[in-house]
Structure 1
Amino acid sequence: IDPRLSTGAAKADEWIPIRPATDRHFVLGMIHSLMYEHKIYDAEFLKWGANGGYLIKDDGWFKRSKTEKGKPPWGYPRRGPMDFFPQDKSEYYKPLVWDSVDNCAKVFDDPTIKDIALEGTYEVEGERVRPAFQFIKDAYKDYTPEWAEKITTVPAKTISRIAKEFGEAAEIGKTIEIDGEVYPFRPACFNWYRGAQAHKYSALDNQVFSLLNLLVGSHAAPGGLIPVTLGYPHYIMSPVEPGPDGLLDPRPHQFGPIPPFTWPPNSSTLMELFPIGVGPGQNHFLTLTEPEKYGLTFKPKICLIYHCNPIWSMPGNVEKWYKIMRDFEFVWAIDLFWNESTTFADIILPDRDFLESWNLLMCEPPATEGLNLRQPVTEPLYPETREAWEIMCEIADRIGKLGELYGLWNFMLFGNDPELALDTSGKKRYTAIEIYERRAKFLTRHVWPPERDLNWFKEHGHNVIPKPAKNIYYFSNKRGRDCRKPFYCEYMLKIKKELEENISKANIPFEWDTKGYQAFPDATMHSVHNEPPEYDLYAITFKEHFLNFTENLSIPWIREIADRDPHHRGLLINPKTAEKKGIKEGDHVEVRSPYGVLTGRAVFTEGIHPECVAVSNATNRTVSHNPITRLGGGGFNTLLPNNFKNTDNVTGAMESVAKVKIKKLDTPPPEVTKSAIPEYKAGRKWGPVIRP
């Protein structure tokens, strides 16, 4: 399901082109079809492995016992002295379910429960209540495939058929035994990536995709969708364990505990307003240009660009990003490349390439555990380069902050293990090798024993093993009833209530939309669909497997691959759409949104939704000091809005789709749209490099 016939779509049995930013509505149509039309869902899992039977009051909150209290019954011993994600062991009044045999309400873990009702309407203590499944089903009554067709452009018959095929492929009722435990066997899953959920209401998008998997019992089940952790430090810091209400203990903030609310804010990203989000770096576009409006009582003077390219990767008009970079008093970078952002640096400190350097980690492993050691295979091509670790230590030492840096690393990397801790007096410097030696010992001591030193990894390379089934799947005949998955997520309502109370007390000087905090997702439309009607097309961007954020286009072989593929040499448009616009293949065209503009050559393909223009990452570089890298007609992200109207106020996700209009240009544009670049200090001109 993709607006573009991607490499993955080309290998599929069927490609379903969809209007961008409507994937949630497609899935809502599928869920309606499964609930109402085909009646395919995993009832046993929803009752015992999820909270589909928890009784919900009309106000959306759990109906709870007034007398019986509970606490999470167990928790994993922390492996090592660090507890970055403390388990929520709060006492709570137990949620109720309806025993359909005894015809009465009971607490969810009552041992006398004979069966749990998923459907029906009941009265408990004078209040109308419905099981979560029924509550959601009622809310989705109007989300028919015919309704979804009008939003997604996917025919209703296709939505209904795909729902049926998906439900039948899940083989509900089948089981599989692994390592002495019997698990549901569900060989079907709905998987998604950034294009499906990087929109205004990203949290709702992600919720509905999870909801579909939960509906057929394929979430974290053999054959189904395997949740992926980031790797270390999450194995040691974020085990799956029960939380309040018999549900999984929520760990929504992947880089640590929920940040405390403060106002005025302590962060220039306004992280205080995103309690379960990820640091929204794009907010600098707003806070650094209007700090008073957003409550900032400080002004950042120094910017470090560490292996990133925010001007190229962040949304919003590029001229405004140029101004933000110019306004810093000092910009320094650690990187391998000159790019759109490092061009603004007063100094670039060159890191070493991966072939010249060390690393010890495991990153985003779905089915394995352990550590991999990357070792240099060649001496540094430029001996004056250093590994980034050592650069950071050198800088910290020079500004008198080496002890503070080592204190942070002791917490993040070594769990404050006293035997492995770095000296925080600031009097001793450690090499990268010495730090990796400690990491090897810490992680094998506390996570993957037996303890190994770096020499062992130099010889063996890794200690990776297949991840045991018990660490992947959480619901079996032996486990999971006290650690259910939230089919209905009351936790979101709690976070919303707490945030709204904090905002009200702080009296922040701008509106903050909390609509995205929902116990289950509704059909709220993304803001991108509300642009003026003259912007009648959707612009999307894409990359292929051989492109690494386009930095590797400086490699001649990669550049040649991109140049031989027409999809990476221009702006993709459906030929029928182009005909209506009076555009011929190869014409120079301008793509303009309400926020920015880019140019390029029209490339025709039937493999694009008729309402779309697609822009390859390979075509929109605007700065390079490498003769191999071909410059494009402007960065895609300059087309995107950067404001809270188009930012998900729950996750921090930024809109990845732009509404645009396209026209033929009578004369070819310059390679890069030239802009006025005012004189900067010392008479230098700062901005994009313009090739003559």
Structure 2
Amino acid sequence: ERGMKVVVIDPRLRGAGPFADEWLPIRPGTDLALALSFASVLIEKGYVDRGYLAKYTNSPYLVKEDGTFLRVDGKEQVWDPASGSAKPVGAAGVEPALEGEFTVGGAKVKPAYQLFKEHVAKSTPEWAAGVCGVPAADIRRIATELGENALIGHTVVVDGVTLPHRPVSVMAYHMAQQEQGFEAIRAMIMVFMLLGAMEAVGGVRIDFTWKPYANYEKLDQIKIKDPPYNIYLGDSKYFPINSKLPGIVAKVMQNPAKYGVDYTPEVMILHMANPLGSFASQADFIAAYKKFKFVAVIDPWLSETADYFADVVLPAATIEKYEGPLGASDQYVDATTLRVPPMKPLFQSRPEIEIYMDLCEKAGILYGKDGYLDQVNQALKLKDAYKLDLGAKPAVRDIFDRWAKSEGIAEGVAYFEKKGVKAKGAFPAKKFYGFAQSPPFNGKTHRLYGESLLRYQREMKAKGAEKVYWQDYTAFPTWRPPTKDASPAAYDLTLISYKLVEFKQSRSSFIPLLAELAPEQRLEINPKTAKAKGVKDGDMVWVESQNALTGETRKVKVRARLTEGIRPDTAGMPHHYGMWTHPSAKGQGPTANTLFFTGEGYVTNTADQSFQVQVKVWKA
């Protein structure tokens, strides 16, 4: 309605497609190369917010030839053109240089931005076109449009506060779900750093309110340890930046000695999750979960994982429970809600909070300091007058009544039982924007240059980690062909997974009314590719994946569906199928997660999972 242009960058024309102005059908796993090329074009054409880079990022920090920052008495240095000398970061009156090469104490140094400029110079649209499989002219045009529409230098007044106005942004959540997802996200963020759009009005945001990320300091100061490691491999030479990926746990459970792990758990509590259907590499989870001696599942229904492994299933309520507090913002109005039960829980099901309080009581960790109730007091930030008694088990409704009153809602939980949502009013600029803080961004520096990543790489090497683990810990995002591309040429298609609007995760394909809309699994394939393989729409086909590092293959049979909305070198299977415990789910076809792999080559950096693998397809 207001003239915003939307460009979808995706191998498959997803749900956003009909609402987009343009579809750029990128080759799977090449988003990093595209982002580097965008940055190259922006710098070439001068679409750079130099004021933002110099003042709020580490772009002007001087970098030595060994890749580390120049420091004097522990303080990073910048180049002061006025005095022709290095000065401490933040020195009064200094407008630091972003470009050039200088000599300090006989050593050559360059600002981080100069190094970034050199780093992306070779990432031209013509180069990226060959990698990404999209026209160079389109790459150059889209980057140029970003630069033109960023309105660098423009400001706008919000709630009496003058703020940078950069009406360009990106939604890149699922872009992380590829082998080099961490680096791809970094590179795309850098595109918008060049434009000064991070946390600007109309720019890139990661939350409804502004606050320093909880791990801002921690992720820059990781101490890589020697074995033994925990089952997540946190702080390890393998994945020092760690998201506790269940797939890594599955690999460790099968071979703890390989990863320097000396303890694996014997008991697992699985809460509202179905790893055999939801997580990549089903075979690894089956093998890993066989190692547990006891498995308890908390779930509203008997999932496939529970069917295989649960010793006890504790039935959880769905909507008939108190749950929250939950944000209900539309990004502009601050609002809070609670889930309140419209009726009593069905059959023997119970709210999870009741289940956990009973479990903690049995385990002797419900009461007293640091017990479960104490943790609830802290998590809900209850004021002293409303804190739970650490010696008595409360009713769940009472917990939320105390929270509501602690938040200043006189009616307590009854307010939400009557009205549902508590609107607090529009977010004020000083709560919403990093630029509106005093000082801006609470004094935190945005990191264009990843010195700590380079440090981690060197420590990982020194501790004997193999290249597959450390190769993507680089000061700047650096392109390399994905590991999957090393599969034999016969595996000529990249399989991707995606979500359908009809279903929720792997939790709803058994619902008859929804199953009528999308009754079975399918392999989406381009008509040109299908014709070359002798496949017609509706044919049953075999899909075989191959692990590029181990050579392992996996195979499923599925029905082919032809569509122009996918690249010819790509095939797609939706996420939701492969369930068997519910009668309505039987015969719907396999889960795509049977074909994906986890572990080395398919997981990097932050231990995040890739949902891409090379496959071959033939008529069954």
In structure 1, the partner of 2:205 is 226
For 2:223 and 2:77, the matched residues in 1 are separated by: 31
For 1:129 and 1:655, the matched residues in 2 are separated by: 37
C-alpha RMSD of the superposition: 3.0
| Residues 520-558 of structure 1 deviation map (CA, whole Å, 9 limit, x = unaligned) | 211123212222222110001111334210412333332
Partner of 2:118: helix, strand, or coil? helix
In structure 1, the partner of 2:315 is 350
For 1:311 and 1:387, the matched residues in 2 are separated by: 24
Contact 1:17–1:154 (8 Å) recurs in 2: yes
Q: 1:378 aligns with which of 327, 340, 343?
A: 343
User: What's the CA shift for 1:601?
Assistant: 1.0
Contact 2:521–2:589 (8 Å) recurs in 1: no
After superposing the two structures, state which structure 1 stretch, 268-277 or 539-548, moved more.
268-277
Q: 2:85 aligns with which of 104, 118, 122?
A: 104
1:545 to 2:501 alignment: yes
Letter in 1 for 2:234: M
In structure 2, the partner of 1:534 is 490
Give TM-score, length-normalised by structure 1: 0.80
Contact 2:233–2:242 (8 Å) recurs in 1: no
1:61 to 2:17 alignment: no
User: What's the CA shift for 1:52?
Assistant: 2.0
For 1:646 and 1:391, the matched residues in 2 are separated by: 36
For 1:259 and 1:464, the matched residues in 2 are separated by: 43
In structure 2, the partner of 1:576 is 528
Q: 2:54 aligns with which of 35, 47, 50?
A: 47
In structure 1, the partner of 2:607 is 652
User: What's the CA shift for 1:185?
Assistant: 0.5
1:487 to 2:451 alignment: no
In terms of fraction of residues, the more strand-rich structure is 2
Letter in 1 for 2:173: Y
In structure 2, the partner of 1:621 is 578
User: What's the CA shift for 1:621?
Assistant: 1.8
In structure 1, the partner of 2:4 is none
Distance 1:202 1:412, change over 3 A: farther
In structure 2, the partner of 1:16 is 24
User: What's the CA shift for 1:417?
Assistant: 6.4
Distance 1:407 1:385, change over 3 A: closer
Could you tell me the percent identity over the aligned residues?
Answer: 29
Contact 2:37–2:125 (8 Å) recurs in 1: yes
After superposing the two structures, state which structure 1 stretch, 454-463 or 414-423, moved more.
414-423
Q: 1:473 aligns with which of 433, 436, 458?
A: 433
Distance 1:475 1:451, change over 3 A: farther
Give TM-score, length-normalised by structure 2: 0.89
Q: 2:217 aligns with which of 250, 255, 278?
A: 250
Gaps of 5+ in 2: 1-8, 547-552
In structure 1, the partner of 2:287 is 323
User: What's the CA shift for 1:61?
Assistant: 1.7
User: What's the CA shift for 1:46?
Assistant: 1.2
In structure 2, the partner of 1:200 is 179
Alignment of 1:290-689 (within 5 A): 290-316=255-281, 318-344=282-308, 345-362=310-327, 366-382=331-347, 384-403=348-367, 405-406=371-372, 409-410=375-376, 412-414=378-380, 421-422=387-388, 428-441=392-405, 444=407, 453-465=412-424, 466-475=426-435, 479-480=439-440, 482-496=443-457, 504=463, 513-563=469-519, 570-594=522-546, 595-618=553-576, 620-627=577-584, 629=585, 631-648=587-604, 650-665=605-620
Alignment of 1:48-197 (within 5 A): 48-64=55-71, 66-67=72-73, 93-113=74-94, 115-194=95-174, 196-197=175-176
For 1:408 and 1:662, the matched residues in 2 are separated by: 55
| Residues 450-493 of structure 1 deviation map (CA, whole Å, 9 limit, x = unaligned) | 78743444455344433322233222596428433222232433
Letter in 2 for 1:124: V
Partner of 1:517: helix, strand, or coil? coil
Contact 1:98–1:117 (8 Å) recurs in 2: yes
Contact 2:535–2:619 (8 Å) recurs in 1: yes
Partner of 1:183: helix, strand, or coil? strand
Contact 2:161–2:436 (8 Å) recurs in 1: yes
User: What's the CA shift for 1:514?
Assistant: 2.2
Partner of 1:35: helix, strand, or coil? helix
In structure 1, the partner of 2:5 is none
Letter in 1 for 2:27: R
Distance 1:583 1:173, change over 3 A: same
Partner of 1:140: helix, strand, or coil? helix
Contact 1:335–1:348 (8 Å) recurs in 2: yes
Letter in 2 for 1:489: G
Contact 1:32–1:144 (8 Å) recurs in 2: yes
| Residues 71-130 of structure 1 deviation map (CA, whole Å, 9 limit, x = unaligned) | xxxxxxxxxxxxxxxxxxxxxx332222334443322212222x3322221222222121
For 2:378 and 2:242, the matched residues in 1 are separated by: 20
For 2:374 and 2:235, the matched residues in 1 are separated by: 21
For 2:414 and 2:271, the matched residues in 1 are separated by: 29
Partner of 1:218: helix, strand, or coil? coil
User: What's the CA shift for 1:396?
Assistant: 2.4
For 2:409 and 2:452, the matched residues in 1 are separated by: 39
| Total equivalences in the alignment | 599
In structure 2, the partner of 1:277 is 242
Distance 1:542 1:21, change over 3 A: same
For 2:497 and 2:529, the matched residues in 1 are separated by: 18
| Residues 159-198 of structure 1 deviation map (CA, whole Å, 9 limit, x = unaligned) | 111111111111111111112221110011122122x222
